[in-house]
Amino acid sequence: MATTKTNTTEALQTIYARFTRAWGKCKNPDLDGENPHFRNKYATLKETLRVVREACKAEGLAYVQEFNYDPEEMTRAHLRSYVTNEAGDILDLSVFPVQYVPNSQQFGSALTYTKRQQAQTDWGITGEPDDDAEAIAKAKPQAKPQAKPQPSSQPGKREKLLDRIAELQGQLANPELLNEMVHSMFGAGVADLTEEQLLETGKQLALMVKGQNREHK
């Protein structure tokens, strides 16, 4: 397992800022692979890591997916992901379980699949085609059962998201990182974000707080 350097508050603020900028620059990978069973395209691990490394390079970061396991109980195998800089500062991102199977080839496939899903989750990118509109167009119209009208959105949802973001912001070593992250991601302020963007912002803040808490344990 990699050794996590003891980060000072200043170092943490620096790597948070670098990660935020890199995250905002990371683009969706090309769909360079094809599933022969379902005949659909997807982004391979190679292409996924290419766009991640390209975004990291501009900020002097390295993205690492570290495999860990218990030799006596392989069912506890997992991937720990983090970003690090040239000074050795580390910001933890996520931990994904890896499905263990005794066949080495099948295990390699499971590991590759987990790495791809973890990387795309960590960086907020997608490696699948956006074919929802096509599926809707091809679907045959069906009679809709009559139902009682429902409200278009949950009352107070936006306020709850804003409250949650404010709560997470208060847990950051440098609360001002929120503004930098939001502008880097969406080019707007928190008050101007949509509910979907607020939800994504909350997810990223939670990751940052989680990594910060691990560093200070």
In a domain, 216, yes or no: yes
2/71 same-domain check: yes
In a domain, 138, yes or no: no
In a domain, 150, yes or no: no
Closest CA relative to residue 168, chosen from 214, 209, 201: 209
- 121 near 127, Cβ under 8 Å? no
In a domain, 140, yes or no: no
90/197 same-domain check: no
Predicted confidence at residue 145, as pLDDT, reads 53
Predicted confidence at residue 75, as pLDDT, reads 65
**Confidence band (pLDDT; 50, 70, 90) for 132?**
very low
- Cβ contacts of residue 93 below 8 Å, gap of 6+? 81, 82, 83, 122, 207, 211
**Confidence band (pLDDT; 50, 70, 90) for 2?**
very low
Predicted confidence at residue 209, as pLDDT, reads 75
**CA-CA distances (angstroms) from residue 173 to 10, 26, 191, 207?**
9, 25, 22, 13
Residue ranges making up the domain that contains 46: 1-129
33/79 same-domain check: yes
In a domain, 85, yes or no: yes
pLDDT at 133 exceeding the cut of 50: no
In a domain, 25, yes or no: yes
pLDDT at 58 exceeding the cut of 70: yes
Instruction: Read off the pLDDT of each residue in 170-182 and give the average, rounded to a whole number.
Output: 73
Burial environment of residue 28 by CB neighbours within 10 A (0 to 12, 13 to 18, 19 or more): middle
80/125 same-domain check: yes
pLDDT at 210 exceeding the cut of 70: yes
14/113 same-domain check: yes
Q: What percent of the chain has pLDDT over 90?
A: 34
The pLDDT mean for the chain works out to 79
SS3 66: strand
Predicted confidence at residue 151, as pLDDT, reads 47
- Work out how many domains the chain is built from and give that number: 2
Q: Which of 61-65, 136-140, 162-166 has the highest mean pLDDT?
A: 61-65
Lowest mean pLDDT among 1-10, 154-163, 170-179, 190-199: 1-10
**Confidence band (pLDDT; 50, 70, 90) for 125?**
very high
Q: How far is CA 68 from the centre of its chain?
A: 20
| pLDDT tens readout for residues 15-45 | 999 999 999 999 999 999 887 655 678 999 9
Instruction: Read off the pLDDT of each residue in 124-132 and give the average, rounded to a whole number.
Output: 74
Predicted confidence at residue 149, as pLDDT, reads 46
In a domain, 90, yes or no: yes
26/107 same-domain check: yes
Is pLDDT larger for residue 92 or for residue 150? Answer: 92
Lowest mean pLDDT among 2-16, 137-151, 203-217: 137-151
Residue 97, H or E segment: strand 90-97
110/35 same-domain check: yes
Q: Which of 80, 111, 129 is the last residue of a domain?
A: 129
